[in-house]
Chains A and B, each alone.
Chain A
Amino acid sequence: MPKWDWLEKPATPFNRGFALRVAAKALALFALCNLAFALLDPLPALSRISVYNGLAPGRARLSYGEDPARSYSLSLDNLDALFAAHEVAAPKAADEFRVLFVGDSATWGWLLRPEETLTGQINAAGYTLADGRRVRAYNLGYPVMSLTKDLLLLDYAMRYEPDMVVWPVTLESFPRARPPFAGAPQSFDKQLFPPLVQHNPGPVRRLIDAYGLDLDPNDPRFVDLTFTDKTLIGQRRALADWLRLQLYGAAWAATGIDQVYPATYTPRQEDFDDAGVTRFGDLEAQPLTEDLLAFDVLRAGIARAGEAGAPVLLVNEPMFISAGKNSDIRYNAFYPRWAYDDYHARLVEMAEANGWRLLDLWDAVTGGDAFTDSAVHLTPEATGQVSEQIAGAVLKLAEE
């Protein structure tokens, strides 16, 4: 039968009644599908279906990308889909000592290929424990600086049976929202600003409640879905993102590329103008107390991992220490000295007081050439040095 005969030569000619019935049924079916989608909410279940770890290898890091056509990776807020696409979702081997790394872009590996990241270099080194278990590190970093975002990912990742969690942190992830005050009209918040946090209000509120976090569960930035938002039409972007993530599996598998590697970039800042040189965000020199920094989120993460039987190794991330103009006032583009020194002292003090394992690497990497486009982004070689130090601490903690 020629291809279009069913349409052009139907057994019964189409008439107006037929056309109207088709239109009415199509509309009814469409409305029904939307209603069913809103009521059944199949997106989480659908999101756990993934071509990764099956047809395509699991991604070495969480999908993130602002230029998907070039990075074969996209930013999405669907935790189920993000994790289902990650290699951590593959079954745990019997002889595997599973170490999950959470953190910011330094952990995720900005400008680094997957094999050049902290986890990539630890895995390449092939560490084993005394009992014969192979250390297998998973990169669950996400290139946004926020402890709450780290906690959200850590919480989700506990289902993947970690034996240990490594959590590199830096001061920039700590600031929390607070009422604006004179001299600082804008609140410098790093906890609820990431879209990933705002679009996952359920899990974040649960964490706020469970660990008594000093974050506002009714913050207006949380995106709570209305009934309309839950329909097929409302969820079309989420569905399209899920589909695109699956389709990029082919490109990821073929190329091993998951971010854009620019030929050139602006190097981290060395000299600092006088204007605002003493400011940390919107703050002038003052004690960085717990109402300003979210140590409670850090505490919650350690507790959450502990509940799953995974000790946490905190790492105070290495950072660039400038020797340029105004470097006596400022370490780097992120931090004036007063702020970082205060944070540093508090972190060490708190770790000692609470029995947290802290690997303090803040000044472990020297030389401006070790940093790329920001004060916390390392070159592959410098990342290798840091990975050796972290691996040493991981092995030590694992044997305890």
Chain B
Amino acid sequence: MTLTHIVVFVVLALLCGALVRGRGRGWLLMGASVVAVYWLQPALRIPYLDFAFPAITLALAVVVWAVTRAGDQPVTREDGAALGVTAALVLALAATRCLDLDTAAWWSPTAARPPDLPSVALALAALGIGAVLPALLGGRRPWVRGAMVIFIIALFAVMKTGPLAQTAAGAVRQLAGRDPALASATDLGWLGFSYVAFRLLHTLRDRITGKLPALSLREYLTYVIFFPAVTAGPIDRAERFVRDVRALPDLPGLEASRMVQGGARIVIGVFKKFVIADSLALAALNPAIAAQTGSTLWTWALLYGYAFQLFFDFSGYTDIAIGIGMLFGVKLPENFDRPYLKTNITAFWQNWHKTLSDWVRFYVFMPISRNLMMRERKPPLLLIVLAAQMATMIVIGLWHGVTVNFVIWGVWHGAGLFVHKVWTDRTRKWYRGLDEKPWLKRAWAAAGVLLTFHFVTLSWVWFALPDFDSALDVFLRLFGV
């Protein structure tokens, strides 16, 4: 999201607040989100892929909505209208091809010239007949939902695994009549797919377990591709999100408190992202600088720069997303709460990218620990904790990309969480005794903050660098080896 995108979203929010009333607000959010997935999608090297990816996002969302409908939930006229509006918007975006717009300009709704209208219409019809219709007719069978989960995880794995993504890019290039030898994983720059996939998986899983409320297609689509959060989260929960969407018709138009709060969050977010983080990026660890640096001291400085850049970048984006959401009347969940000031690694993970941590806790940690606990020959409790924490953190690592470094990063944090759990179990009594020595408790907390911050910061070496050798080299250099 650029400053231009933010300004346009703010203006749209103000216009929406001033001019749109009642149910129109929900429709506007959906329509704006559909257009925004195209507008935010960057240009890609393979022709028309930057138009196809948003279309696939929409198609996936419609199909998953169809298969996650509750058993007694009919397809209503409103659902039909949502489908029609979505298809019409996609066709309208494709029709901008005739206008021969300057696609580099900020007001161009697509990153590159769209495909011709008949091709898009044909593709939409094929998607409708081949995917949406079958999903509507027979998608509510349990095995279909299971298959969708597997399909999305497989798609996710392809997108996140370098060699697989490169092979897929080669295939797409061949389809597009381009040289597959030039394929690169970066050809597949699918905007927001990581977040969209986790939202889809959440609804599929919650439908399987019966926790998902009934959602109309309009509500579901808006949830999956809500434009402030489509690029960098937060990953909201559908049942919470839809409460806000359903309350939109009754919200006062330009409610002062909402405008002030949303505006303040946007200003703070813009400052964090575009001033602090973008400045720190010039003095932060990256693969090129890591290979050129010899000094231990300066490697530490660059690593600190990276740690703060990452925080301000990501939390700044979150503030902007939350702020824009507030202006539209949707309160997205918080994602960060002073994580680098936490006294232990468990508290850090309760306050760093909270919505992702929560997601993985719900869908990885809890099922694994529950499964192990329910076994007839139950493993020792510590082993259960270790296995569940390792799996949780490795999944978070792999969510960023399927590489050795992200696995090591996950293991690092899994081990940290486990050691902290064992440590607190054994020192709980002693720690309570510190209540009588406040100064010692404060010093202990300060030491905890320092230790946690450095534990996390050292892990960023595996996160920032793309391969094992360069990360290990930097890691050893940090300790003068």
Contact = CB atoms under 8 A, between A and B. Distances in A.
A243 B288 CA distance: 21
A19 interface: yes
Contacts of A249: 283
B305 interface: yes
Given A3-B337, A243-B279, A257 B292 contact: yes
A7 B282 contact: no
Interface in B247-261: 254, 256-257, 259-261
B282 A251 contact: yes
A254 B299 contact: yes
Contacts of B298: 250, 253-254
B282 A254 contact: no
Contact of B260 (A19, A68, A257): A19
B260 A255 contact: no
Contacts of A159: none
Interface string A1-24: 011100110000111111100100
Contacts of A16: 254, 256
Contacts of B261: 7-8, 14
Given A7-B261, A19-B259, A254 B337 contact: no
A255 B295 CA distance: 8
A92 interface: no
A83 B259 CA distance: 46
B371 to A, nearest CB: 34
Contacts of B301: 250, 253-254
B279 A7 contact: no
Nearest to B285: A254
Contact of A15 (B256, B280, B283, B293): B256
Contacts of B293: 254-255
Contact of A7 (B265, B289, B295, B302): B265
A248 interface: yes
Nearest to A245: B282
A70 interface: yes
A333 interface: no
Contacts of B288: 70
Contacts of B283: 247-251
A253 B334 CA distance: 38
Interface string B289-314: 10011110011011001000000000
Name the residue in B263, B295, B298 with the highest tally of chain A Cβ atoms < 10 Å from its Cβ: B298
B264 interface: yes
A265 to B, nearest CB: 19
A249 B280 CA distance: 12
Interface residues of B, number: 27
B338 interface: yes
A218 B466 CA distance: 54
A318 to B, nearest CB: 30
Name the residue in A70, A247, A249, A257 with the highest tally of chain B Cβ atoms < 10 Å from its Cβ: A247
Contact of A4 (B260, B263, B334): B334
A210 B305 CA distance: 47
Nearest to B283: A250
A237 interface: no
A4 to B, nearest CB: 7
Contact of A255 (B282, B292, B337): B292
B262 to A, nearest CB: 10
Contacts of A244: 279, 282
Interface in A208-232: none
Nearest to A68: B282
A145 to B, nearest CB: 29
Contacts of B289: 72, 251, 254-255
A7 B338 contact: no
A244 to B, nearest CB: 6
Contacts of B299: 254
Nearest to B282: A247
A247 B256 contact: no
A114 to B, nearest CB: 13
Nearest to B291: A255
Given A7-B264, A253-B298, A254-B301, A19 B338 contact: no
Contacts of B254: 16
Contacts of B259: 19
A13 B302 contact: no
Contacts of B264: 7
Interface in A239-269: 243-244, 247-251, 253-255, 257
B303 to A, nearest CB: 11
A14 B326 CA distance: 14
Nearest to A3: B337
Contacts of A250: 282-283, 298, 301-302, 305
A348 B271 CA distance: 59
A14 B260 contact: yes
Contact of A14 (B257, B282, B294, B305): B257
A18 B256 contact: yes
A274 B357 CA distance: 71
A248 to B, nearest CB: 6
A253 B295 CA distance: 9
Name the residue in A22, A254, A255 with the highest tally of chain B Cβ atoms < 10 Å from its Cβ: A254
Nearest to A22: B260
Nearest to B257: A14
Interface in B232-286: 254, 256-257, 259-261, 263-265, 279-280, 282-283
Contacts of B282: 68, 244, 247-248, 250-251
Contacts of B334: 3-4
A161 B251 CA distance: 70
Contacts of A255: 289, 292-294
Contacts of B257: 13-15
B279 A14 contact: no
B260 A18 contact: yes
B288 to A, nearest CB: 7
Contacts of A70: 288
Nearest to A19: B256
Name the residue in B256, B282, B295 with the highest tally of chain A Cβ atoms < 10 Å from its Cβ: B282
Interface string B301-345: 110010000000000000000000000000000100110000000
Nearest to A17: B256
Interface string A46-89: 00000000000000000000001010100000000000000000
A17 B289 CA distance: 51
Nearest to B338: A3
Nearest to B331: A8
B313 to A, nearest CB: 15
A240 to B, nearest CB: 9
Contacts of B260: 7, 14, 18-19, 22
Interface of A: 2-4, 7-8, 13-19, 22, 68, 70, 72, 243-244, 247-251, 253-255, 257
Given A3-B337, A19-B256, 17 more contacts: A2-B337, A7-B260, A7-B264, A14-B261, A19-B259, A68-B282, A72-B289, A248-B282, A250-B301, A250-B302, A251-B282, A253-B295, A254-B292, A254-B301, A255-B292, A255-B293, A255-B294
The 5 A-B residue pairs whose C-beta atoms are closest, nearest first, are: A254-B298, A250-B283, A255-B292, A247-B282, A254-B293
26 contacts: A2-B337, A3-B334, A4-B265, A4-B334, A7-B260, A7-B261, A7-B264, A8-B261, A14-B257, A15-B257, A17-B256, A19-B260, A19-B263, A70-B288, A72-B289, A244-B282, A247-B279, A247-B283, A248-B282, A250-B298, A250-B302, A250-B305, A253-B295, A253-B301, A254-B302, A255-B294
